């Protein structure tokens, strides 16, 4: 079996002492910044953000819909 196509799931358990924090970055006004550097108000705004997924537009070409 090809190593690239073979999928293996390994369960690895880490103790809390072995974990490290994940640095979260976000795009603000055209550039990227780490969320940890935000002031308390901006951190609150970041927490309240809602994420969405756009769907493909149905252009209705040739159907006369406008």
Q: In this structure, what token pair is assigned to residue 10?
A: 């390994």
Residue 66 lies in a domain: no
Q: How far apart, in whole angstroms, are the C-alpha atoms of residue 44 and residue 31?
A: 19
Number of domain units in the chain: 1
Helix, coil or strand: residue 28: strand
| Helices (H) then strands (E): counts for the chain | 1, 2
Residue 40 lies in a domain: yes
Residue 44 lies in a domain: yes
Helix, coil or strand: residue 42: helix
Q: Residue 25 pairs with which residues in a beta bridge?
A: 34
Residue 15 lies in a domain: no
What confidence tens digit (pLDDT) does each residue in 21-47 have? 899 998 877 889 999 999 999 999 999
Residue 6 lies in a domain: no
The pTM assigned to this predicted structure is 0.46
Q: What is the pLDDT of residue 23?
A: 93
For 44, the domain range is 23-48
């Amino acid at each position: 079996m090809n190593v690239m196509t073979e999928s293996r799931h390994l369960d690895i358990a880490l103790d809390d002492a072995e974990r490290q924090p994940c640095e979260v970055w976000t795009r603000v006004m055209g550039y990227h910044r780490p969320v940890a550097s935000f002031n308390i108000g901006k951190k609150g705004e970041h927490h309240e953000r809602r994420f969405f997924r756009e769907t493909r537009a149905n252009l209705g070409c040739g159907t006369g819909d406008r």
